[in-house]
Amino acid sequence: MGTFKQFLNDKQVNPETLVRLSSQLEARSEDDRKLAKQRSDKRRDKEKQGKPYAELGIGKPKSGRGVSVQQVNAALEDQPLSPKVRGKLVRAVNAALGKKGGPAADFKALFGEVPARKGAAAKAS
């Protein structure tokens, strides 16, 4: 049995609960929509294009997409997942543990030594 599956069994967390909690946590709010608009406006403004978002005080909006059932199943089978998916799973597990009154978990406790999935390498120009 994999590390993630063992952790969920020990803490009695249902995988369907993770999908539901993740979609709730990652849902875009009105503030996230405003941040996305500010980032879009910054990219169009010639004066602000060279400045980083942090310098202008523009944060990063939520993605609006939670983890899918397939991604949770892949984590249960200890298949490599991208760092973004892992982060969403950690947030969902911590939310579930918070509702039960347990301490927060970290990446090592959830995924152990399973490597992160690497994307396609960028071509050198």
Average pLDDT, integer, range 72-85: 90
Q: Check residue 41 and give its pLDDT.
A: 92
Q: Check residue 95 and give its pLDDT.
A: 92
Q: Check residue 47 and give its pLDDT.
A: 86
Q: Check residue 124 and give its pLDDT.
A: 60
* Residue 66 and residue 88 in contact, taking contact as beta carbons nearer than 8 Å: yes
**In degrees to the nearest 10, what's the CA dihedral of 28, 74, 21, 61?**
-20
Q: What's the longest Cα–Cα distance across the chain?
A: 55
Q: Collapsing DSSP states into helix, strand and coil, what is residue 82?
A: coil
Q: With cut-offs at 50, 70 and 90, classify the pLDDT of residue 1.
A: low
Q: Collapsing DSSP states into helix, strand and coil, what is residue 115?
A: coil
Q: With cut-offs at 50, 70 and 90, classify the pLDDT of residue 117.
A: confident
